[in-house]
Structure 1
């Protein structure tokens, strides 16, 4: 199925046509707010490549669901493109209010399940599809503005987000040597994991990809990918010795490596349906959750509404930020929900 293109009431389609026709060249500013993983970085690179000759200035900032509202208020200038950033259930009303008050055009390209009640204001265009990577959607959104060979940038993002099984990906992958594309996607995802808060480096990687250069030709990215692979191996040895199992959930605290990978390893090692990795940040935990056969997003969005904490994501991969003293409650409710769904103890 094609992506759903929902346009806010009153959106001026002439403005969009003007962008494509080049009528507004040299008089506009564009802000990209992107998630900092490979899917978000590739999405930002595709937009930057497509619109570099249309906008006078393009600024790229990296954000996440819990920080989207603050980052939007701080950085939004000109036309704003938000890519690969979920809208938290608890923050949705405030975010929509900020969108509505913004005197400019907003384009939201995403693949996460939307909040339960999400109606875009007039100045917001939504390009959304579940089950497809944001980078695939970004490439399809700017289709016709880029050479077809830029599809490999979208492929890197789709592979990095484990969304390499769509019809579009299979067709695009058929135009390339699969081994080369997967190698480059691995370099990108590993290297970005090794550059988590280095936003200037990530901006340079966006620039690099926007020129349709392979990730492995970026020297610092490649070096960080190699080091990250070594760290991942150390993490694989660490997790089995540090797992805590609570019913149908296994978790580790402050793993020496990526939270997502640690959660996956905890789940697989303990042979439970849900694995969690926690990172301590003062009085809160940052959580990464992974599941097999259980809808984490559905559970976490309900939890988010009731406890007013940022939480959500995809059915099998999600995240949350919550006070430390709320973690036990989450564990209890998660186990209760798993048992109700029929998972054996």
Structure 2
């Protein structure tokens, strides 16, 4: 309930601060009708978006990606990966002259954080995060190249190894 309600707030930091204040007063999320309605609404949106992602996701080797869906980048990455049954999912959005993205994998040894730091850095962007969840920003014109290089890094990491996901 709480996760869905928070997700529905997107970048509305005032709403998130209001929720934090409410919870800090030892109130239950389920006791606030507004929180419950937000959670239900977001759950409906999430199911609709899952279907959109299944239809819209594109594949570059071991990577499935969606771009500019106007929804959670992290969840988009998770659903894209699952929909296309690949190793890595990417949820991305265009912003001015660059693309911001969130990457997800269930395979820790892919070390997404190290890969995005190195690849995005070479392209004049930035990246970081964790082994299974990372974020990156690259110049818009280099987004596809980023995906291709990331796929090459995945191939090199998994060559001659059994990978379950």
Give the TM-score taking structure 2 as reference length: 0.86
Residue in structure 2 matched with residue 323 of structure 1 by the alignment: 139
Residue in structure 2 matched with residue 237 of structure 1 by the alignment: 51
**CA distance in structure 2 between the aligned counterparts of 1:197 and 1:302, rounded to whole angstroms:** 28
Aligned residue pairs, count: 158
User: How much is the aligned-residue C-alpha RMSD, in angstroms?
Assistant: 1.8
Could you say what secondary structure the match of 2:86 adopts?
Answer: coil
Deviation of residue 305 (structure 1)?
Answer: 3.9
**CA distance in structure 1 between the aligned counterparts of 2:70 and 2:118, rounded to whole angstroms:** 30
Q: Does 1:290 align with 2:104?
A: yes
Could you say what secondary structure the match of 1:272 adopts?
Answer: coil
**CA distance in structure 1 between the aligned counterparts of 2:93 and 2:36, rounded to whole angstroms:** 26
Match of residue 129, structure 2, among 307, 313, 319: 313
Residue in structure 2 matched with residue 260 of structure 1 by the alignment: 74
Deviation of residue 297 (structure 1)?
Answer: 0.9
Q: Which runs of 5+ in 1 are unaligned?
A: 1-186
Residue in structure 2 matched with residue 299 of structure 1 by the alignment: 115
Residue in structure 1 matched with residue 163 of structure 2 by the alignment: none
Deviation of residue 329 (structure 1)?
Answer: 2.3
Q: Which runs of 5+ in 2 are unaligned?
A: 161-165
Rg: which structure is higher?
1
| Aligned ranges 1:92-241 → 2 under 5 Å | 187-241=1-55
Match of residue 274, structure 1, among 73, 85, 88: 88
Could you say what secondary structure the match of 1:330 adopts?
Answer: helix
Residue in structure 2 matched with residue 49 of structure 1 by the alignment: none
Deviation of residue 217 (structure 1)?
Answer: 2.5
**CA distance in structure 1 between the aligned counterparts of 2:66 and 2:159, rounded to whole angstroms:** 21
**CA distance in structure 1 between the aligned counterparts of 2:131 and 2:99, rounded to whole angstroms:** 21
Give the TM-score taking structure 1 as reference length: 0.43
